[in-house]
Structure formats: structure tokens, C-alpha cells
Chains A and B, each alone.
Chain A
Amino acid sequence: MNIDFALTGGYASLNLTLQVETENLPAELAAQIEAKVAEAGFFELLPEALKPKEPGPPDVLTYRISISTPGRSQTVVVNDLTAPEALRPLLGILQDLAWEQRRRAR
């Protein structure tokens, strides 16, 4: 499963990105991520319904997630007000991984 994740905006004007192939991760971590993708119903989400219709409101975070597997792919853009609650665990684990990558790059 290939994942392309970006978190931008917010009070701190964050710009956090992550590109990962779960095959290249430790098995347990890969399983956690894939489980959260399933729990979110990611491939059943309706991107147009979730996409913010206008800029703002001020200082909300915007999240862009692209996931592809053999046979299907989907890109979803949400912000703090449009993100479904079921998507939050996936957003959380991807953020943690992105920050960890930055730490290891130091």
C-alpha cells in the first residue's frame, strides 16, 4: 500500500509530508496502518463531499491523503471541520510517522 500524506496550515503554519510504502515498514506498523485505512472506510469516502469548499476558516489544518493499492487508488482532501471522525486514527498515525521521519533525519 502506497501512501502520500500532507498536513498543512494551522496556527503554526505546518508543512508536514510523508511518502511511504507499507511493504517497507516493520510488519506490525504496516498492519496498524492498513487496519486504520480499513476502519476509516477510506476507499468508500466521497472526496468531493469532504473537500473544503472555500479557503479557511482561519488556522484550521488541511490534510491530503493519497492511497493506492493494486487495483484501486483514492485521494482525499479534508480539513479539521470536514474530516470524518473515523478518519482521525489514520491521520494520527500518519502524522506520528511523519514527525518520526523528521526526527531521524536530524
Chain B
Amino acid sequence: MRDTFVGNRLPALAGVTTVLFGIAIALIFFYAPTDADQGISQRIFYFHVPIALTSYACFGWGAWKALRVLWKRDHRADVESYVAIHQGTIFGALTLVTGSLWARATWGHWWLWSSRQLVLFLVLFLFYCAYFMLRFSVEPGPRRANLSAVYALFGVVLTPVSFLAIRLAEDFIHPTVFTRDGPQMTGSMFAAFCVSLAAMLTLFATFYSIELAGKRIDAQIRELREALS
């Protein structure tokens, strides 16, 4: 069933991702207007925010799979949780890098330690970096799966804190685009943002499927090698 997915649906998913990225780039640079306040640097927003939201989605998916490890004793969910968190950490690193470039272009600083939301996202990122240290310091087996799952569930609590910090912070340095009154941008800007978000989420789905398939084949080869020795 899963091999069928990799064999048949994965190329389609990769194709959809490529098409969505093409449309997103065209909308960002040829359709969305230049922001009156920030100028061209605002165009980083169309990649930076979808990447950040995708990293939250990855951590959330990883926590859901971790919950399945602890609740249903689903041993397959352990590697699924690990792969989702791995992807989330990659998207998290990209959030920090693109955010830093945007900060330099608009605020004139690469990083501001006084901005709570930046520091909170860094804490979230470092927390998930430590997940790998914990995971690989324990021998493979049920103990490692349980420890990793508990850690992943603790980590997901930080995600809404990081997300809400942008709204609750009092320093007003980090822009708040999505308010209770809806998105504070034009329709064409919002369309570019939505397509970009869809592109990032399908990129995550594609990479998640590829990495998961690789991990499973690796495990099967290891089992086969042990059986033959």
C-alpha cells in the first residue's frame, strides 16, 4: 500500500509542488503589488511566513504521531514522528534565516534580542534541535520511541506560545499581518500568500513521504541483512 503510494502518488505530489512553486513565484514577483511601507523587502514575507507556518505544521504532525506512539502503541508512528520533526527543524532553520534577512532589510539589524517573538521562535527551534540529541543518545527500541514521543508532545506546547507571541508582544517590532479584522493586505497579496503556503505544505508532504520511504527501506534492508547473517 505504502510502496504503491511512493511509486504512483509521490511523483504526482512532487509535480503539484513544482507547479505550485512556479505559480507562487509568478504571483509574488509579477502579480502582488510592491508594499507602500516596506518596499520590495516585503516580498520576503511570501516565503518567510509560509515557511514558519509549515514548520509549526511539521511539529504538530510530529506530536500527533508521537501521541499515537504512546496511546495506540503504534511503532510505525515513531519514525513518522521523527521524520516530521526533522522536516520541521529544516523549515525552522529556514524561518530564522529568511527572517533575519528580512529584519536586516527593514530594521537594519540581523537579529534583535529585545524582540520576544524572535527569541521564542529560536527557543522553539533549539528545543527541537535537542530532540535529536535525546533520540540518538538512547538505543533503538521502545524506550527510545517513548522518550522521543514524550519530548515531541512537550515541544508542541511551545508552538502556540511562539505563534501567539507575535500577537501578544508589546514591542510592535515584528509586523502582525493577520488580525481579528482579517488579513491586513490587498487581495492580490493574500492570493500570493495562500499559493505560497500551499506550495510549502505540499513541499513538506513530498519531502516527508520521500524521507519516510527511505527510512522504511533502510530498516527493511537492515532486517534482511540480519536474517542473512
| A-B interaction | no
Q: Which residues of A contact B (CB under 8 A)?
A: none
